[in-house]
Amino acid sequence: MANIFLDVNRLIGLIKGEEIDNLSGHNLMISVLSWHITCYLMKWKMPHEKLKRMSEVLAAVELTNEIVKKSIMGPTDDFEDNVQLNSAAEGDCDYFLTMDKKLLKMKFFGKMKISDKI
């Protein structure tokens, strides 16, 4: 069983029903910031049943001042990407799933593999 972090683009794909390998049996994590981004992009009104169900299945890494400080420093020039990466590292994730071509070029962040599939 692996700890798998879903970048916002993979979270939205999951919500839209897109196939993402076989995620069953793994611990799925996101940044707590991802809920805000997702609700904004999907234009969801509250209360929202799908959000409720998803929040019961996905573990969210809290956005702390320490993650913000690390994200200001990098590793990329995009703060939101850095929050996602540093949140995944804080969650001790094995995989960071994304569709972001710039992040995929990094291949690893610390010991965490950055990939578009498991």
Q: Splitting the chain (118 residues) into consecutive groups of 10 residues, what average pLDDT does each group show?
A: 96 87 90 96 95 94 98 98 98 98 98 95
Domains with residue ranges and CATH for the chain = 3-115 (3.40.50.1010)
Q: In terms of C-beta distances under 8 Å and separation of at least 24 residues, what long-range contacts does 41-50 make, across chains too?
A: 41/8, 41/12, 42/12, 42/15, 50/15
**In whole angstroms, what is the distance from residue 56 CA to residue 24 CA?**
15
The pLDDT assigned to 66 comes to 98
The pLDDT assigned to 24 comes to 86
Task: Please report which helix (H) or strand (E) contains residue 59, including its range.
Answer: strand 59-61
The pLDDT assigned to 118 comes to 86
Using alpha carbons, select from 2, 5, 12 the residue that is nearest to residue 88: 5
Residues 40/65/55/7 CA torsion (nearest 10 deg)? 70
